[in-house]
């Protein structure tokens, strides 16, 4: 493994997905099997993580997926410290990062799409790419949901193109 993380869209998704856990381990918590599958597959493909090194446990319908690799953890943590510079443009890299955030830390309720416990860096990234938020408790609600859903529709496991098209049609 090199001394510097080679950033690509897949690695960007992993960074978004595990951004809240990186200080403890590399991993995610999700109730969606498709999100877990994507995270594990990308980790194995991008970093050569062996399947037997991935620890998966489940409790109350939520899967906890993690693996330990101190060198990779340090590289990912270093990249996350620079995330506002890495993801300041509206492109596939930032779309994958935001899709990773949404797939693991997001949801949709009657008020619209939201992200939970975003730090100031994540909120700055969203603003830089034209996604506006409104804070309510620990949730950051997306003020322009059609722009947000359109931005991540090709990258998110949870927001398919069909779901995006339906949400746009429902908004009319």
Here the CATH number for the domain that contains residue 20 is 3.10.28.10
Residues 6+ apart with CB under 8 A from 161: 153, 154
Query: Are 144 and 132 in contact, with CB atoms under 8 Å apart?
Result: yes
Considering 29, 57, 84, which residue would you say is the last residue of a domain?
Answer: 84
Instruction: Please list the helix, strand and coil fractions of the chain in percent, rounded to the nearest 5, in that order.
Output: 50, 20, 30
pTM above 0.85, yes or no: yes
Considering 66, 84, 102, which residue would you say is the last residue of a domain?
Answer: 84
Query: Are 28 and 36 in contact, with CB atoms under 8 Å apart?
Result: yes
111: CATH: 3.10.28
Distance, in Å, from the CA atom of 8 to the CA atom of 22, rounded to the nearest integer, reads 18
Look up the domain containing 96 and give its range.
89-171
Same-domain status, 61 and 98: no
Query: Are 115 and 102 in contact, with CB atoms under 8 Å apart?
Result: yes
Domain count, the chain: 2
Distance, in Å, from the CA atom of 99 to the CA atom of 137, rounded to the nearest integer, reads 22
- Write out the chain's pLDDT in tens, 172 residues: 557 899 999 999 999 999 888 878 899 999 999 999 999 999 999 999 999 999 999 999 999 999 999 999 999 999 999 999 999 999 999 999 999 999 999 999 999 999 998 999 999 999 999 999 999 999 999 999 999 999 999 999 999 755 555 554 555 4
Same-domain status, 97 and 158: yes
Q: Is residue 1 part of a domain?
A: no
């Amino acid at each position: 493994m090199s001394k510097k993380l080679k950033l690509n869209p897949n690695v960007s998704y992993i960074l978004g997905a595990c951004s809240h856990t990186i200080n403890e381990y590399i991993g995610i918590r999700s109730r969606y099997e498709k999100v877990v599958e994507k995270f594990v597959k990308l980790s194995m493909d991008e970093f050569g993580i062996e399947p037997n090194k991935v620890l998966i446990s489940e409790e109350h319908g939520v899967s906890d997926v993690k693996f330990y690799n101190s060198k990779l953890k340090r590289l990912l943590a270093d990249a996350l410290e620079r995330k506002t510079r890495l993801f300041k443009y509206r492109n596939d890299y930032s779309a994958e990062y935001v899709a990773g955030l949404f797939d693991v830390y997001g949801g949709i309720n009657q008020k619209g799409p939201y992200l939970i416990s975003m730090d100031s860096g994540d909120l700055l990234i969203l603003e830089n790419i034209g996604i506006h938020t409104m804070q309510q408790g620990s949730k950051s609600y997306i003020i322009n949901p059609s722009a947000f859903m359109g931005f991540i529709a090709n990258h998110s496991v949870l927001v398919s193109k069909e779901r995006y098209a339906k949400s746009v049609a429902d908004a009319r």
